[in-house]
């Protein structure tokens, strides 16, 4: 075999065929279709964690408040309402300053302040009564974000 034939045989077998490249692109597309929605779910669960942390802090503050005053706090939460300072604003939620209730229960509502995300502008409601603290949300898909 001459040098010219060896060189052409080597060059002809180098690289990938079009079918091989299409299969790789198809596999990457399938993996991306599975991974991207899961990524958005994990990110939104982290953002919903901000609301859960605030509502848990509010629950603890309300427990201490009823021991001092004999009733749950209702009204607008300020930095001096409770014995601990709750954040005045949240990064991903609004409506964290209004608490409604009576001597036996209280409720607070937080609204997600973005409509572009996968879950939309859902609301998280924390309700405390004799059965304990319960969370609920407005959308059907946001229930997977709650504890």
Higher pLDDT, 29 or 78: 29
How many percent of the chain have pLDDT more than 70?
Answer: 87
What would the pLDDT profile of 80-132 be if each residue is shown by its tens digit?
888 888 887 888 888 766 888 888 899 999 888 876 667 778 889 999 998 89
Q: Alpha-carbon distance 75 to 81, whole Å?
A: 10
Domain residue extents for the chain = 19-145
Is residue 37 very low, low, confident or very high in pLDDT (cuts 50, 70, 90)?
confident
Name the pTM for this structure: 0.75
Tokens for 39?
Answer: 């990524």
Number of neighbours of residue 99 by Cβ within 10 angstroms:
21
């Amino acid at each position: 075999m001459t040098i010219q034939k060896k060189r052409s045989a080597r060059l002809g077998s180098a690289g990938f065929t079009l079918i091989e490249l299409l299969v790789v692109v198809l596999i990457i597309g399938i993996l991306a279709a599975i991974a991207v929605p899961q990524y958005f779910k994990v990110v939104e669960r982290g953002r919903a964690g901000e609301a859960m942390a605030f509502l848990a802090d509010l629950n603890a503050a309300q427990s201490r408040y009823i021991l001092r005053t004999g009733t749950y706090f209702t009204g607008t939460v300020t930095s001096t309402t409770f014995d601990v300072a709750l954040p005045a604003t949240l990064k991903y939620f609004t409506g964290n300053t209004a608490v409604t209730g009576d001597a036996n229960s209280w409720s607070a509502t937080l609204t997600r302040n973005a409509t572009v995300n996968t879950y939309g502008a859902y609301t998280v409601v924390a309700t405390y009564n004799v059965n304990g603290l319960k969370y609920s949300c407005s959308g059907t898909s946001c229930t997977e974000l709650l504890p």
